[in-house]
């Protein structure tokens, strides 16, 4: 078994098999699907049901017996139902496409000629849709008998070989040309008016510009004259200002110099004072201190002498004893030097150094009296 699927623009026509069919409907029609078939029992044929285009060129006489040429185009196809496919297949299965187109062309040419004879040229020109609609109304039943449907019918052009249509259009053309000329003249006038307005506006603007330029020139000239006149005065005022500024600067400089001199004088005075203080501290003060120390030492010595004299006089030789005692180390040192190398023998009891010192001590009063006598003589002599 075989399974066949038709194209979208095809229908499958299956004949044969075990089922008996009528002579006016010998096909099993398959549209938009697939079908099983047995190669020996069935015959499967593909039938075109897609669109076909036909161009028509017809010359016929109008209702006024005026030859008219009409060109149109038709698009038609097989209606996609089983009955229409069977009707079309009974007539055109296995037929060349050119014959199909020729049949449709004959139908529409005849209907178009018929409609041209029923209308005037003016009616055809003014309402092409009406012409097309009437042709479709007359051709559609005949097309349906062939299983066809009309998809489109379009009047492309209407003309005549004798210039009738052109003659008809002459008044309209004249009117259109006249209106166009009027419109152009009006447009030219409006353009000219606009140009004149533009020129006037330009002239007014130029006048305003010239006036403004003249005013500006006058103002500039007046400003220049005033500037020229004010030049010397301004220069003199500027010179006075310079002189005043220089004088002020000189005064400020003099004041500054005076302040600097005063400050230097104060500094010199301060330095002199400081130096004086340094001299007093370094020279005079030490000298005064030394003199004072010498004076004090002298006074102290004098007071010591007076005190010593008074002591000698009042205490009967205490000072002398003290002096003798103070001189004992020297006396003993002299005695030791005198006895150096001497062969002394201490005989008897108590003949030792202590006893000897005691004997020296007994001698001291005699020495005091001797010293006092001599001291008294010195005092007397002094007095």
pLDDT tens-digit readout, 226-249 = 767 766 776 777 788 878 888 888
Residue 238 inside a domain? The answer is: no
Residue bearing the bigger pLDDT, 110 or 314: 110
pLDDT tens-digit readout, 285-325 = 777 777 877 888 888 788 877 776 666 565 544 454 556 55
Residue 57 shares a structural domain with residue 31: no
| Total of domains in the chain | 3
Predicted local confidence at residue 41, as pLDDT: 83
Pairing of strands 10-16, 42-48: antiparallel
Residues 34 and 5 sit within 8 Å (Cβ to Cβ): yes
Residue 123 inside a domain? The answer is: yes
Percentage of the residues of the chain whose pLDDT score is greater than 90: 4
Residue 329 shares a structural domain with residue 359: yes
Structure tokens at 372: 């006092």
- Among 130, 162, 194, identify where a domain stops: 162
pTM: 0.42
Residue 24 shares a structural domain with residue 39: yes
Residue 139 shares a structural domain with residue 156: yes
Residue 17 inside a domain? The answer is: yes
Residue 38 shares a structural domain with residue 57: no
- Among 162, 185, 210, identify where a domain stops: 162
Residue 72 shares a structural domain with residue 155: yes
Structure tokens at 240: 């006075």
pLDDT tens-digit readout, 24-64 = 678 888 888 888 888 888 888 888 888 899 998 999 888 88
Residue 38 inside a domain? The answer is: yes
Residue 43 shares a structural domain with residue 63: no
Spatial distance between the Cα atoms of 369 and 383, rounded to a whole number of angstroms: 21
Range of the domain at 150: 53-78+94-162
Residue 44 inside a domain? The answer is: yes
Residues 139 and 107 sit within 8 Å (Cβ to Cβ): yes
Residue 31 shares a structural domain with residue 102: no
Task: Give me the CATH number covering residue 115.
Answer: 3.30.479.30
């Amino acid at each position: 078994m075989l399974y066949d699927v038709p194209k979208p623009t095809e229908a499958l026509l299956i004949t044969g098999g075990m089922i008996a069919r009528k002579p006016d409907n010998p096909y099993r029609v398959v549209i938009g699907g697939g079908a099983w078939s047995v190669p020996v029992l069935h015959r499967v044929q593909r039938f075109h049901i897609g669109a076909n285009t036909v161009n028509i060129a017809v010359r016929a006489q109008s209702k006024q017996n005026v030859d008219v040429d009409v060109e149109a185009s038709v698009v038609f196809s097989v209606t996609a139902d089983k009955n229409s496919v069977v009707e079309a297949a009974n007539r055109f299965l296995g037929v060349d496409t050119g014959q199909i187109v020729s049949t449709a062309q004959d139908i529409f040419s005849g209907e178009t000629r018929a409609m041209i004879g029923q209308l005037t040229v003016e009616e055809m020109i003014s309402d092409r849709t009406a012409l097309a609609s009437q042709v479709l109304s007359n051709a559609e039943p005949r097309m349906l008998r062939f299983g066809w449907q009309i998809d489109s019918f379009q009047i492309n052009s209407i003309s005549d070989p004798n210039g009738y249509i052109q003659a008809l259009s002459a008044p309209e053309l004249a009117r259109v040309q006249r209106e166009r000329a009027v419109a152009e003249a009006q447009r030219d006038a409006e353009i000219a008016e606009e140009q004149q307005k533009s020129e006037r506006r330009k002239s007014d603007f130029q006048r305003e510009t010239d006036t403004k330029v003249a005013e500006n020139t006058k103002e500039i000239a007046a400003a220049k004259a005033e500037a020229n006149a004010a030049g010397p005065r301004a220069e003199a005022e500027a010179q006075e200002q310079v002189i005043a500024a220089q004088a002020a600067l000189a005064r400020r400089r003099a004041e500054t110099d005076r302040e600097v001199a005063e400050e230097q004088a104060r500094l010199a005075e301060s330095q002199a004072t400081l130096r004086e203080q340094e001299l007093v501290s370094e020279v005079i003060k030490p000298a005064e201190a030394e003199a004072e120390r010498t004076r004090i030492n002298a006074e102290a010595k004098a007071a010591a002498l007076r005190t010593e004299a008074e002591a000698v006089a009042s205490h009967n030789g205490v000072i002398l004893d003290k002096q003798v005692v103070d001189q004992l180390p020297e006396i003993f040192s002299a005695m030791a030097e005198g006895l150096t190398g001497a062969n002394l023998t201490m005989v008897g009891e108590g003949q030792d150094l202590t006893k000897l010192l005691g004997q020296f001590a007994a001698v001291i009063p005699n020495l005091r009296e001797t010293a006092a006598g001599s001291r008294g003589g010195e005092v007397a002599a002094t007095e």
